[in-house]
Every structure is written in structure tokens, then in C-alpha cells.
Amino acid sequence: MPELNFDKVYASLNLRIKDITNIDEFDELTKEFLGKNSLIAEERKKLSSLSSDDKKNYGRKLTEATEFITSEIKVQRQLFLNSQFTSREEVENTDISIDWTPSRGSYKHVLSTVMDEVVSIFSSIGYEVAHGPEAETSWHNFDALNTPDWHPARYESDTLYLDKNLDTLLRTQTSTVQIRHMEENDPPVYIVAPGRVFRSDQLDATHSPVFHQLEGLAIDKNLTFTDLKGTLEYFVKEFFGNDIETKFIPHFFPFTEPSAEVLVKWQNGEWLEILGCGMVDPNVLSNVNYPDNYKGFAWGVGIERLAMLRYKIDHIKNFYDNDIRFLEQF
């Protein structure tokens, strides 16, 4: 029975591997040791002339050798690749394990950019950032904010409840953060609360069941509507530019009294609503056990609304389509 010196073959394989300097040489190595003209292939041709027992035994040895060579080349190929990556990383001081090409735009979503800018504007005049849970209680979302049981906002058609008793829900506003902050902190309070909110809205050009808000709250002694007006006019000019005109028109919100909407005069002369605001209703302050000598004001603004106005975006779904042609513009 012919007997190939497998140890000699393996030694030869190891020597050839040590001499490799290019990843493509592993393909040549596979052909050399396992191809149709290799020693293993030539030995397989001899199997037909062997007896049944010899054919079985020698065939098994050839199969084991083939599997060993295949595995060894695969392992050594990967080790070679790893060493090449490590060498390049040391030279270039960069992570080349990711095939990454910079886009023409920023790497931050446009909504994150706008949110961060709004937070920055209010932070520059002394407001702190506060956060709270997205899954909320009806108390924090409605009751503490002076919203009566019969108010349409509490209907199941408008709010996404998480239980049959309507005790827990996905927050419809970040005003919930204001309540939680006041429950845990004594006045004075100057905070902004950015985050996602959820409503049972049908998707259209300006509405989405999930969107982003930033709500603000100021509680202190002797605050007036004039302070509210000055604060929001400062924000509008910082965000849209000094030439923008604003006006306040009466409105109704359960948690503020008096309440107003803030409108800006756009390029075409049209007045567009951008946010709601008002003086904090005394019932809200009473619900968190704040002293009677403290007053305050609050406001809420939609981040998608601001982004759509600034960048002339005609449909809110563009923010969520993940279309790179849209996102890389910002």
C-alpha cells in the first residue's frame, strides 16, 4: 500500500505559510496542496488500485489530511488578516475594521440638531435640563396638570393607554417632567424638559403619533406675563433671527391661565403658530404643595414644527423615513 509522508506534507505547508506576504497567496497555497495537481490529489488517484481494506484505510488518512490542510489554511489566513489590520491601525491610528465613508452632511439627525440648539438657547439664560419617564401615570400627565376627567385629551381615541384602568399611558407631553421635578425640588425652578411624546394621531403632513417636544417651566416670586413674553421673544429671535416678528394671541390650556399662542410672521407675511404658553395655573402649584407666594410660567414647543419651518420641510414623515438623500442635507 502506498504511504504518503503526511508529516512531511504538513511541515512543507507550515514553511510555505511563513513565507506568505500577500493575502492572495493563500488561494495559491490551497491549489498547491489540495488542487487537482497536488500530492493529495495524486494519491487519491491510486485508491482505485488498492484492495478494499487498504482503500478504506488510506482513503480515511487522505480525508483527514485534506480536512487538516483546509482548516490550517483557513486559520492562518484569518491570523494574517488580523495582523494586517493591526499593523495598519498602528500606522494610521484609525479603526479600519469599519468600511466607513463620511457623508456630505452632519452625523447628527436634524431633529437632534434642532433639539440641542433649543436646549442651548434656554441653558444660556440659566435653565437646567430635566428628564422623566415616557411611560407615565394619569396623575402626572393629566390630574396634576389641572386636566379634568371630561377633557378630550383624556379620551382613548387621543391617548395611548397602557392598561385597562387608564392609570398608565405613554406621555402626551413633557409637562409630566415639570410635575415630577416640582414634587422633588423646592422653588425657585427654571427647567426645560426635552423628549419624545406620544398621541393617537393619524399621520399627515404635520402630525405623527410620535414626535418631540421641549417644555419649559419657571417658578419664582413675582414672575409675570411680561417675564414670559420677554423669555419667549428672546428664544424666537435667537432661533429664527433678530428680524422675526412675534405676537401673542389668547388661547386656552388647562394648566395655564392666562394662556396664549405665540405666532411668528413668516417670509410671505403669513402668521404661523409655533408654541403655546401661559402663566401656571394656581391649581397646578397647589397639587405639588408649592407656597402661595410663588408664581410661574410655562411653554411647550414642537421640535418637528421648528425644523419644518426653518428648513421648509413639507411633510413630517421625512424625518422618519431614513432617506439618506434627505438626512445628509443637514
Per-residue pLDDT reduced to its tens digit, 277-289 = 999 999 999 999 9
Q: What is the pLDDT of residue 12?
A: 83
Please state the rounded mean pLDDT for residues 158-177: 91
Is residue 52 over pLDDT 70?
yes
Please state the rounded mean pLDDT for residues 219-232: 94
**Which residue ranges make up each domain of the chain?**
6-92, 110-327
CATH of domain 110-327: 3.30.930.10
Contact 183, 274 (CB under 8 A): no
Higher pLDDT, 206 or 280: 280
Q: What is the pLDDT of residue 235?
A: 94
Higher pLDDT, 133 or 61: 133
Q: What is the pLDDT of residue 102?
A: 58
Q: What is the pLDDT of residue 170?
A: 94
Cα-based angle 49, 51, 54 (whole degrees, multiple of 5): 105
C-alpha cell at 23: 493575502
Is residue 101 over pLDDT 70?
no
Cα–Cα dist 244/267, whole Å:
9
Contact 20, 84 (CB under 8 A): no
Q: What is the pLDDT of residue 178?
A: 94
User: Any idea which of 34-43, 150-159, 276-285 has the lowest mean pLDDT?
Assistant: 34-43
Is residue 104 over pLDDT 60?
no
Please state the rounded mean pLDDT for residues 240-265: 92
Strands across the sheet containing 210-220: 128-129, 189-198, 210-220, 295-302, 271-280, 256-265, 246-253
Higher pLDDT, 31 or 303: 303
Tell me if residue 279 falls in helix, strand or coil.
strand
Give Cβ neighbours of residue 198 (< 8 Å, ≥ 6 apart).
Answer: 134, 160, 170, 171, 172, 209, 210
Cα–Cα dist 130/277, whole Å:
18
Is residue 64 over pLDDT 80?
yes
Tell me if residue 301 falls in helix, strand or coil.
strand
